[in-house]
Structure formats: structure tokens, C-alpha cells
Amino acid sequence: MSLLLLYALLLKASVTSFSGVGALPQIRQDLVVTYRVMTDEDLSRAVLFGRSSPGPVGLYIVSVGHAVRGVPGALVGWLALASPAFLAIPMLALLRRWLHLSRVRSALDAVIVASATLLVPSGLLLARDAIAQLASFL
């Protein structure tokens, strides 16, 4: 598989998801099922490495790239991971332009409150898994 195609596939998966592991189904479909350049075991290991490393959980995409094309693949994986982040810039610029409007301000406040609400189950699930894991060590 060419590096360009690998980048295109990983970017597609990354840009169509809104969370760290949200891209996983698309990556599996493209790289495991369609192109068969990695196995489910490789993919599981990539997710494990992503969760075991500091930084965003989405870093498993770097490991996926490495599993397919070695170090250049890892670089391509990082590029696919990092590229969509820059879409935040025009969004921030637009938001600031309209922020003086009370309805926009109120919509933003509601989104912030919703973000916080959505974080709670994630935090509780992480804690529950960790506590269950710790209990299994005892």
C-alpha cells in the first residue's frame, strides 16, 4: 500500500470521527477487511499501545500506520491524526466573530455545558474499569 493511499484512508477515518477511538470501525473496514494490510490482532495491539502511551487516545492511528508501512507509515499516521485539528482554527475565528450576539453566546454556553455533561460518563467509565482492574490484581 502506498503512503499516499494510507494517508488518505487514515485521514478519512480521522476526519469522519469526533473522538479518539471513533475512527476505529472505518480503519478496520479499510485496512483489515478491504485492503487486508493488517489483522484484527494488529489493530487491537495498536489500540492497546495508544491507550498505554501518554497523550491523546487517538495516537493508536500512529501505531496502525507503523503496522502497515513501518516508520514512514507511523509518520503518515501522525499526519492523518494531526491534520483535522487545524479545522478548529476557522471554527474558532467564526465563533469569535459572532460571539457578541446573545443567541450565539447562549448556544455556545449550552454546548459547553453539554460537553461537560458528556465528559461525566467517560470519566466514570474510566474509573469503573480501573477500579475493576485494580480489584482483579488483589
Partner 1 sequence: MREAAPLTSARPPLGTLAWLVTRDANKTIGSGMASIELLRRTLERRGWLDDREHGVFNAVARFTPGTNVLAYLAALGWSYHGATGAAVGVVAGSVPGSVIVTILTAAAATVDRWRAVRVALTVATLVAAGLVLANAWSLVRPHVRGPRVGWTLASVALAAALSLAGATPVRVLLALAIWGALTPPRRTP
Q: Nearest Cα to 11, choosing from 29, 26, 33, 28?
A: 26
Rounded CA-CA distance 106/91 in Å is 17
State the Cα angle at 64 between 60 and 67, rounded to 5°.
135
Rounded CA-CA distance 20/4 in Å is 22
Q: How far is the CB of 97 from partner 1 (least distance, A)?
A: 7
Binding piece for partner 1, criterion CB under 8 A, among 1-9, 11-19, 31-39:
11-19
Examine residue 69 and tell whether it contacts partner 1 (CB under 8 A). Answer: no
Residues 22-61 that bind partner 1 (CB under 8 A): 45-46, 48-60
Amino acid letter, 48: L
Binding piece for partner 1, criterion CB under 8 A, among 1-9, 24-32, 33-41, 92-100:
92-100
Examine residue 4 and tell whether it contacts partner 1 (CB under 8 A). Answer: no
Q: Nearest Cα to 4, choosing from 85, 83, 73, 87?
A: 73
Amino acid letter, 90: P
Examine residue 12 and tell whether it contacts partner 1 (CB under 8 A). Answer: no
Examine residue 7 and tell whether it contacts partner 1 (CB under 8 A). Answer: no
Identified binder of partner 1 from the candidate list 8, 17, 29, 43, rule CB under 8 A = 17
Binding piece for partner 1, criterion CB under 8 A, among 1-9, 26-34, 94-102:
94-102
Rounded CA-CA distance 91/25 in Å is 26
Examine residue 100 and tell whether it contacts partner 1 (CB under 8 A). Answer: no
